[in-house]
Copies of this chain bind each other. A is one copy, B any other.
Amino acid sequence: MSIAEVHEFAKAIIMEAGERIRSSFSEKWVIETKADANDLVTNIDRETELFFIEKIKTFDSTHKILGEEGMGEKIDSIDGVVWIIDPIDGTMNFIRQHRNFAITIGVYINGIGKLGYIYDVMRDQLYYAKQGQGAYMNEVPLKPLQAISLNKAIIGLNATWVTPNKRIEHEPMIDLVHKVRGTRSYGSAALEIVSVACGRMDAYISLRLSPWDIAGGVVIANEVGAIASNLKNEPINLLKQDTFIVANPTIHSEIIDDYIQLKNENK
C-alpha cells in the first residue's frame, strides 16, 4: 500500500468525521469530567475516535492506533505504521464555543512522520502535509516561513505560564511577553501549531502536551520550515507527554535559550 493511498483514505475519513461532528450539534450530548476538570470529554470525542479505529482497522488491520481516548491499543513502540489521533483537539472550545477545535492525525512509519492532518471542522479547512512534499490548506500550498525578529513576533501562549506554576520559571516568560509584539491563546494546540505553520503566529509554547496533540501538526510544521521540539530543544518523543514548542526557525533557539527555564519535574 502506497503513502498516496493512505493519504487519500485519511483525507476521506477525516472529512466524514468532520461532517458527523457538525451534524451532532443538533443532538443532545453528555459531558463527562475526567480526572482533571479541564479535561472535558464528550460522547462525540469517543464516538469519533471509535469511528477512526473501525475505519483504519478495516483499511489495514496491521496499522496501530494511538488515540487520546485510549480506545486504540496500548502502544509501547512506534515501529510499523502508527496512526496518532486526537478526535477533537480543543474539547473546551468544542463544548462551549462549537468552534475553534480540530481533528488532528499523524501517520508515522517506524517513528518518521509521513502524513499530518489538522482539520478545522467548523471553518471546513483541512491542513495536511506529506513528508518532503509540502503542506497544504484545502489543497492550496502553504508558503515557507519568512524570517522574523522576536520583537515583531506573535506567540501563542497560555496566560498560566506567565504566572507562578510548578513547570516553568514564570519571570523569564514575563520578559518574553514584554519582548514580543503580541500574544494569542486559542485553546487548541492543533490550531495553534497550524497558525505557526501558516505564519499567522511565529511560535507556540506549551508545558504539557500529549503525542496526539502534536503528531499531525509537527509533520505540517516541518514542511514549511518551522522547528518543533520539546522545551529542552530535544526531538519530539511520541510515546510520552512532554513540553513543546513550535516556532519560526529564526526565533526557535532564541526563545529556548533566553526565556525557558524549566522546573525540576520538566528537567
Which positions in A face B, CB cutoff 8 Å? 37-38, 92-93, 96-99, 123, 154, 157-160, 162-164, 174, 177-178, 181-187, 195, 198-201
In the bound complex, residues from chain B placing their C-beta under 8 Å from that of A162 are: 159, 162-163
In the bound complex, residues from chain B placing their C-beta under 8 Å from that of A187 are: 154, 182, 184
CB distance from A10 to the nearest CB of B (A): 25
- 9 contacting pairs across A/B (C-beta < 8 A): A96-B199, A96-B200, A97-B195, A154-B187, A157-B159, A159-B159, A163-B177, A184-B185, A184-B186
Nearest-neighbor residue (CB-CB) of A199 within chain B: B96
Nearest-neighbor residue (CB-CB) of A40 within chain B: B181
Q: Of B154, B160, B199, B200, which contacts A177 at CB under 8 A?
A: B160
CB distance from A184 to the nearest CB of B (A): 5
* Extra A-B contacts (5), CB below 8 Å, given A96-B200, A162-B162: A97-B195, A160-B183, A163-B177, A164-B174, A182-B187
Tell me if B200 and A185 are in contact (CB < 8 A).
Answer: no
Nearest-neighbor residue (CB-CB) of A154 within chain B: B96
Alpha-carbon distance between A187 and B186 when the two chains are bound, in angstroms: 10
In the bound complex, residues from chain B placing their C-beta under 8 Å from that of A123 are: 123
Tell me if A159 and B181 are in contact (CB < 8 A).
Answer: no
In the bound complex, residues from chain B placing their C-beta under 8 Å from that of A183 are: 158-160, 185
In the bound complex, residues from chain B placing their C-beta under 8 Å from that of A195 are: 97
Alpha-carbon distance between A154 and B91 when the two chains are bound, in angstroms: 13
Alpha-carbon distance between A96 and B92 when the two chains are bound, in angstroms: 26
Q: Of B97, B185, B200, which contacts A159 at CB under 8 A?
A: B185
Alpha-carbon distance between A96 and B162 when the two chains are bound, in angstroms: 24
A96-B199, A99-B200, A200-B97 are contacts. A38–B181 as well, Cβ < 8 Å? yes
A159-B162, A162-B163, A186-B186 are contacts. A181–B97 as well, Cβ < 8 Å? no
Nearest-neighbor residue (CB-CB) of A99 within chain B: B200
In the bound complex, residues from chain B placing their C-beta under 8 Å from that of A199 are: 96
Alpha-carbon distance between A98 and B201 when the two chains are bound, in angstroms: 12
In the bound complex, residues from chain B placing their C-beta under 8 Å from that of A99 are: 200
Tell me if A178 and B163 are in contact (CB < 8 A).
Answer: yes
In the bound complex, residues from chain B placing their C-beta under 8 Å from that of A198 are: 97
The 9 closest A-B pairs by CB, nearest first: A97-B200, A163-B174, A185-B185, A159-B183, A159-B159, A159-B177, A184-B185, A159-B162, A163-B177
A160-B177, A178-B163 are contacts. A154–B92 as well, Cβ < 8 Å? yes
